[in-house]
């Protein structure tokens, strides 16, 4: 009987070894955003692709509280990777507001796609210009979010202060819910279009988006070079049949500088070799290309990612 047990255990050991059941796993967590934004589905797509293509990696995505909060998760090493805005990563790496000190372990893996500022209102509100939001009920973004930082820059360029309006600090889903409840006049969202929470709102309400003039854009970009002048195409959201000119920033995938070079190299390679799968996850996926992988990079590139880009003949930006 004892001999039978020993033989059985030996056979099980051989099975475990041959199937890789005892192989060591590398666990990577990616902080994304709220379920109503673009980070959430794309982060999930990245996690699924890399887990599927790199057998010893187990990558998971988790909801986050947007860029600034995600960067703090990297800074305190609570997650290994995160989706963030390029401008917020820049501020964090230099200890600029809203950060009290430098977050020095942020490293870039890839630039993904442009994120557009949506200044949402309703068609019967009479709001057609950024300066029209004075004395209105305005959602300016969740605490710790990149939205809040971007809105602060936009308001400053428009000569407005939070005290000029009734402000609320809400995430994407809460912003659109307050519109449905009749409790908001204006809501700011910075995300890749189409954003599901706005699409949902447009299906039941006659929404509009504020377009920003050339003069305003020139003033904003002069002081905040991470913005680019772009537009949200006509037809992106129900009932909006014109192109809407608006500022945009870039979404980036960043990681902890402490991640081993080989781990980040294999992660980066799996992502770009299977980017066609990611492009099917969300409308914004079509903008995620290897050709633009280092556009707008605002912090040093991780050596593992840099190795991959070097193999592809892509120049990696240098940072002091």
Q: Which domains occur in the chain, in start order?
A: 24-113+251-311 (3.40.190.10), 116-249 (3.40.190.10)
pLDDT of amino acid 122: 96
pLDDT surpasses 50 at 61: yes
Tokens of 203: 């299906």
Mean pLDDT of 154-171: 95
Please give the mean pLDDT across all residues of the chain: 90
Crossing angle for the helix pair 66-75 and 86-93, nearest 10 degrees?
Answer: 40
Chain length of the chain: 320
Tokens coding 149 = 């930082």
pLDDT class for 1, splitting at 50, 70, 90?
Answer: very low
What does the pLDDT look like over 236-279, one tens digit per residue? 999 999 999 999 999 999 999 999 999 999 999 999 999 999 99
In the predicted structure, residue 9 carries a pLDDT above the cut 80:
no
pLDDT bucket at 30, cuts 50 / 70 / 90: very high
Maximum average pLDDT range among 20-29, 157-166, 311-320? 157-166
Mean pLDDT value across residues 196-209: 95
**Binning pLDDT at 50, 70 and 90, where does residue 304 land?**
very high
Are the C-beta atoms of residues 183 and 137 closer than 8 Å to each other?
A: yes
Q: Which residues contact 108 (CB under 8 A, 6 or more apart)?
A: 89, 252, 253, 254, 294, 297, 298, 299, 300, 301, 302, 305
Provide the pLDDT for residue 23.
Answer: 55
pLDDT above 70: residue 13: no
**Phi then psi dihedrals of residue 64, to 5 deg:** -135, 180
Please tell me the distance from the alpha carbon of residue 12 to that of residue 146, in angstroms, as a whole number. Answer: 51
Each residue's pLDDT tens digit, 81-99: 999 989 899 899 999 877 8
């Amino acid at each position: 009987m004892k001999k039978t047990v020993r033989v059985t255990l030996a056979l099980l050991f051989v099975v475990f070894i041959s199937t890789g059941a005892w192989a060591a796993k590398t666990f990577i967590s990616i902080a994304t955003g709220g379920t109503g934004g673009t980070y959430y589905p794309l982060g999930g797509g990245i996690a699924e692709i890399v887990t599927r293509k790199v057998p010893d990696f187990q990558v998971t995505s988790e909801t986050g509280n947007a860029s600034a909060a995600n960067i703090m998760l990297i800074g305190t090493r609570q997650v290994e990777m995160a989706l963030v805005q390029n401008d917020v990563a820049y501020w964090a790496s230099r200890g600029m507001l809203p950060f009290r000190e430098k977050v020095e372990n942020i490293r870039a893996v890839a630039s993904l796609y442009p994120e557009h500022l949506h200044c949402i209102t309703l068609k019967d509100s009479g709001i057609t210009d950024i300066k029209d939001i004075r004395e209105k009920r305005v959602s300016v973004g969740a605490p710790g979010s990149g939205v809040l930082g971007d809105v602060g820059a936009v308001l400053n360029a428009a000569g407005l202060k939070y005290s000029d309006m009734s402000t609320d600090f809400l995430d994407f889903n809460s912003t659109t819910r307050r519109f449905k409840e009749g409790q908001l006049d204006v809501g700011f969202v910075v995300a890749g279009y189409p954003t599901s929470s706005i699409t949902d709102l447009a299906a039941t309400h006659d929404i509009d988006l504020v377009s920003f003039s050339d003069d305003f854009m020139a003033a904003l970009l002069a002081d905040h070079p991470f913005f680019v002048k772009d537009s949200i195409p006509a037809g992106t959201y129900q009932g909006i049949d014109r192109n809407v000119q608006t500022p945009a920033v870039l979404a980036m995938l960043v990681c902890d500088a402490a991640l081993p070079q080989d781990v980040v190299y294999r992660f980066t390679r799996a992502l770009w070799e299977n980017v066609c799968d990611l492009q099917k996850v969300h409308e914004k996926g079509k903008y995620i290309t290897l050709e633009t992988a280092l556009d707008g990079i605002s912090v040093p590139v991780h050596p593992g990612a840099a190795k991959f880009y070097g193999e592809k003949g892509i120049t990696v930006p240098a940072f002091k």
